[in-house]
Amino acid sequence: MPVVLFRVDERLIHGQVVMGWGVELEIVHYVVVDDELRESSWEQDLYRLGLPEGTTVEFLTVDQVSSRLEILNVDRRRTVLLTRSLAAMKGLAEQGILRGREVNVGGLHYAAGRTERLSYVFLGEAEEADLRAIVEQGVGVSARDLPGSRSVGVTSLLVRP
């Protein structure tokens, strides 16, 4: 079974991802793509604590995903790929491995220079540029915090309040 969800969420593995998306999509494997987290075993252990019994997780850098994705696409496990930032997802898109796929923006929270687009999505100029770059690579983008929530298209996300 290929990766069934590509998601950008600053909190990575947490309740919405595990209990919302994970239950709905019957996820048994999580792939977290974050260059810094890949090098921090104690932080990885913290994220492992949030996983339900019987699920697995692996931590990769942006550069490692390309070769691993081929294997994941034929793996029988239902998998979610998570990045902490749009910049990391853009890095994957620029490798061409997301072409024709859909990316879910699920949680980018307030920070200086960001404005609210949805209650769970705040964007600044850098995030807007990353979104545009992802779309230019032939990747669909929409925002939805939970599976039962309304999906919001990328065009609406890029409209400044």
Q: How far apart are the C-alpha atoms of 118 and 121, rounded to whole Å?
A: 5
According to the model, what pLDDT value does residue 1 have? 55
Give pLDDT tens digits for 80-108.
999 999 999 999 999 999 999 999 999 99
According to the model, what pLDDT value does residue 73 have? 83
Give pLDDT tens digits for 44-82.
999 999 899 999 999 999 999 998 988 888 888 999 999
Q: How far is CA 9 from each of CA 6, 71, 94, 126, rounded to the nearest angstrom? A: 10, 24, 19, 16
According to the model, what pLDDT value does residue 87 have? 98
Give pLDDT tens digits for 117-144.
999 999 999 999 999 999 999 999 999 9
Residue 61 has phi, psi (to 5 degrees) of -90, 165
Give the β-pairing of 79-83 and 29-33.
parallel
Question: Model's pTM, two decimal places?
Answer: 0.95
According to the model, what pLDDT value does residue 161 have? 79
CATH class of the domain whose range is 3-157: alpha beta
Measured over the CA atoms of residue 51, residue 54, residue 60 and residue 65, the dihedral's sign is negative
Give pLDDT tens digits for 3-33.
999 999 999 999 999 999 999 999 999 999 9
